Amino acid sequence: MTDWYRKCNLAWSLGKEKWFVNSDPGNINWSFPHLGESPMNLNYTMFQLTLEAMMTDEQLKKWSPLQKHSRILGGYAQTEIGHGSDVSGLETTATLDLKTDEFVIHTPTKNATKWWPGDIGLHCTHTIVYAQLVIEGQKFGVMPFMVQLRDCDTFMPMKGVTLGDMGPKFGYGSKNNGWCAFESVRIPREQMLMKYTAVDKDGTFSIEGDTRVLYSVMMNIRLQLIQYSGQALTEAL
């Protein structure tokens, strides 16, 4: 897996330095030289957009350089196999442990397995997990959390993380869509994305802005899918 990561990183570097000198490497159109999607484009689309839209300035200062320089590779884990686009019905939980100042990310049923996230199948090291926020038994709605999936050196799954590739699909074969589940995975409280909602160390929950923004990235990408479908049909014709 580390060889796969090195190849991805080399391709990204070549694209940045040789072919698209004045472009954001995340916007490289891989469909022409590779007949498929970049194995890193989720890092520069949904993952980056989520960080920029939903992290505080302090959180961005820590995570943005890692993401933009491919020190980590990110994904976006919202959809669950039992719920599809029913975001309010997601079952994955993020329960605050007041004693340790951590969130416990947990997949309570098979239906709660995150299903279809791009790039998670093979090589994402981190992902944004959408989960039900639980504080002292009370649910506060679905919120985004930064969760590490794989060790950045060995690419082996982190403790409590089970994940894999979905396998062959009818289309979009170059994208390694995957699945992941969590068995009481602990993350620091500060890894909840807190620009629009926040949780203090004592468990106080507060709303800092319009929470509808939490779903804006997925809506933006779905609009892009419609746009790119027309492009794909044109190329086919």
Identify which has the larger pLDDT, 5 or 219: 219
Kindly report, residue by residue over 83-93, the tens digit of the pLDDT.
877 888 999 99
Task: Identify the pLDDT of residue 189.
Answer: 98
Task: Identify the pLDDT of residue 88.
Answer: 85
Q: Report the pLDDT averaged over residues 196-225.
A: 82
Whole-angstrom distance, CA of residue 6 vs CA of residue 90: 35
Is residue 214 within 8 Å of 77, Cβ to Cβ? no
The range of the structural domain enclosing residue 224 comes to 2-236
Would you say residue 132 has pLDDT above 80? yes
Q: Report the pLDDT averaged over residues 230-237.
A: 82
Task: Identify the pLDDT of residue 11.
Answer: 63
Q: What CA–CA distances, in Å, run from 201 to 10, 101, 181, 215? A: 41, 6, 26, 25
Q: Report the pLDDT averaged over residues 149-160.
A: 94
Task: Identify the pLDDT of residue 110.
Answer: 96
Cβ-count burial 172-187 (b if 16+ within 10 Å, e if not):
eeebbbbbbbbeebeb
CATH number of the structural domain spanning residue 23: 2.40.110.10
Neighbours of 131 (CB within 10 A): 28
How close are the terminal C-alpha atoms of the chain, in Å?
37
> What percentage of the chain reaches a pLDDT higher than 90?
55
Is residue 64 within 8 Å of 51, Cβ to Cβ? yes
Would you say residue 41 has pLDDT above 50? yes
Task: Identify the pLDDT of residue 9.
Answer: 64
Task: Identify the pLDDT of residue 8.
Answer: 63
Average pLDDT, the chain: 84
Whole-angstrom distance, CA of residue 165 vs CA of residue 91: 21
Would you say residue 22 has pLDDT above 50? no
The two structure tokens encoding residue 200? 């203090």
Whole-angstrom distance, CA of residue 42 vs CA of residue 79: 15
Report how many domains make up the chain: 1
Task: Identify the pLDDT of residue 18.
Answer: 45
Kindly report, residue by residue over 219-231, the tens digit of the pLDDT.
777 777 787 778 7
pLDDT band at 6 (very low <50, low <70, confident <90, very high): low
Residue 45, C-beta contacts closer than 8 angstroms, at least 6 positions apart: 26, 221
Task: Identify the pLDDT of residue 32.
Answer: 42
